[in-house]
Structure 1
Amino acid sequence: MPIGLNRRGCAAGVAVLLLLITNFVRGEPIRVGGTGSALGTMKILGEAFARQNASKIELTLMPNLGSSGALRALQAGAIDIALLSRPLSEAQHAAGLVAFEYGRSPFVLVSSKPGVGNLTPAALADLLGGRTLTWSDGQPVRLVLRPKTDIDSEILASLSQGIAEALTIASRRQGMVIAATDQEAADHAERLPGSLAVSTLALIVSERRKLNVLSFDGVPPSVAALADGSYRHFKSLAMVTRGAPSGAALQFIEFVRSPQGRAILEANGHLVSFKP
């Protein structure tokens, strides 16, 4: 399923997205940052929120923090809303952090190569472990890996014991491309001929990435398949605040929970896990 992308617009999109929403009372921005899987959709939500409120939008460029960096920034008061793809720990809950899971997005295999339709767990393990080095037409497979401690690596390893073992082998192979962020992984996957990487449907759709989303074990990943249980692999995405949200941050979270926000989430690869 090729989905178009303006990759060069991604970095600018992050700038627009991370601090897109204005505090209407004081004219201060709502500072938002976190997992790359959430950035494209948050940009779209932020633009819709600003249009609805006819507000002047302040754009502030923030680095891609990731979930762990966003939590540190949130606890330090550097951002107002952290976007996470990991659940909060008991200690983080005890420290007063409040999480709102706004959606789940299918965890997907992607490739720049057209015509690759499906991978079985055994075939994926062979590709990761180096037992298979080419696609069926002889084109070399170019793996794009994530760091061992990244949630994407954890989810990938959870798909099967064979895949977990093969991923360990892949991480030790020479010349492997290892992407530090979700956007970097998608960039590499687009650039490399014959690539194979992991992502989320939310990122692919919201950023209009020029990548093919593969079926896994015969099941095409989709929001509908995630909802009916036929596709079981996903990332949970949450907005986190220090204490109960208030002010402009609360206004934005309420917009995300609104029928309009829900429609935007569903159109961008999310199974919505809340009631408006």
Structure 2
Amino acid sequence: MPGLAFKLGMSIGIRRHCALWLAVLLILLGVVRSASGEPIRVGGTGSALGTMKLLGEAFTRQAASKFELTIMPDLGSSGALRALQAGAIDIALLSRPLSDAHHAAGLVAFEYGRSPFVLVTSKPGIGNLTPAALADLLAGRTLTWSDGQPVRLVLRPKADIDSELLASLSRGIAEALTIASKRQGMVMAATDQEAAEHAERLPGSLAVSTLALILSEHRKLNMLSFDGVAPSVAALADGSYRHFKSLAMVTRGAPSGAALQFIEFVRSPQGRAILEANGHLVSYKR
């Protein structure tokens, strides 16, 4: 049936290379294609998937079922680029810039929004963390919250963009993150959704995420102020909150056909409204 096939709920615990080969297998088997709807296959960074689900639903409603939009879970930015170049997806969702090699290979990207990079916890009543306090929590110099509850860190792989963004917050935090990666008993999340799942499940958790993911997926997590500034689209726009993840859509060459129509919808006033309602500062101009 034409429409939006959204597989995000099945993504937890599946590694990204497996998801890439699953995408290729689906194309080979013809499962993704529909006799009555032109396929648009999308995948990439987990920070974008919840909002893409909402955009896809609105797009397919407007398009009167002419398209079948499938969102592949668990690829991440790097996996999505490999899937795009292999022809397994039509649009890759990235949270990091394209390399010179990708540009040389003919990949084309446009940034469709920026979303605040946020600290989150399952614990209520925590309002703010200073850079020094966050560094102490990561390094294990502080092991509990103020009421004595143990802090449960949820870390990301060293090469992940979330780890890079966390390390960029301050030199002390970067040094503490290196220590945290060597501590025993740390929870390591492979994907953005897995990190959010762990953060929701673990009492006293501390993790990183994006405002877009928290809002679009209705995550039950408390977003913390950092150094006295609460994360919001307005604060990102006025420069008072400076920490964000850039989100882009990438195609092989200039987009055309169904992929172009979806991209144009994302850039339309209706698409922009969905983005802004789900934690994006829309950075392009019409």
CA gap of 1:152–1:39, structure 2 versus 1, over 3 A, is same
Describe the superposition over 1:227-246 as per-residue Cα deviations: whole angstroms up to 9, x where unpaired: 00000000000000000000
Q: CA deviation at 1:204?
A: 0.2
**1:29 and 2:28 are equivalent in the alignment:** no
Map of 1:224 onto structure 2: 234
* Contact kept? 1:24, 1:55, Cα under 8 Å: no
Map of 1:3 onto structure 2: none
The AA in structure 1 aligned to 2:217 is E
Matches within 5 A, 1:215-254: 215-254=225-264
The AA in structure 1 aligned to 2:128 is N
Map of 1:103 onto structure 2: 113
Map of 2:19 onto structure 1: none
Map of 1:197 onto structure 2: 207
Map of 1:11 onto structure 2: 9
The AA in structure 1 aligned to 2:281 is L
Map of 1:4 onto structure 2: none
Distance in 1, matches of 2:60 and 2:173, equals: 44
Q: CA deviation at 1:62?
A: 3.0
Map of 1:5 onto structure 2: none
Q: CA deviation at 1:91?
A: 1.3
Matches within 5 A, 1:1-276: 10-11=8-9, 27-55=37-65, 58=68, 60=70, 62-276=72-286
* Contact kept? 2:116, 2:233, Cα under 8 Å: yes
Question: Which runs of no fewer than 5 residues in structure 1 stay unpaired?
Answer: 1-8
* Contact kept? 1:106, 1:200, Cα under 8 Å: yes
* Contact kept? 2:135, 2:176, Cα under 8 Å: yes
* Contact kept? 1:23, 1:248, Cα under 8 Å: no
Q: CA deviation at 1:56?
A: 5.8
The AA in structure 2 aligned to 1:174 is Q
Question: Which runs of no fewer than 5 residues in structure 2 stay unpaired?
Answer: 1-6, 13-22, 27-31
CA gap of 1:249–1:25, structure 2 versus 1, over 3 A, is farther
Aligned residues: 264
* Contact kept? 1:111, 1:195, Cα under 8 Å: yes
Distance in 2, matches of 1:104 and 1:61, equals: 20
Relative to the length of structure 1, the TM-score reads: 0.91
Of all paired residues, the percent bearing the same amino acid is 87
Describe the superposition over 1:21-53 as per-residue Cα deviations: whole angstroms up to 9, x where unpaired: x99997231010000000000000000001111
Q: CA deviation at 1:160?
A: 0.4
Distance in 1, matches of 2:11 and 2:279, equals: 18
* Bigger RCO (CA 8 Å, 6+ sep): 1
Distance in 2, matches of 1:61 and 1:261, equals: 17
Relative to the length of structure 2, the TM-score reads: 0.88
Distance in 2, matches of 1:88 and 1:60, equals: 23
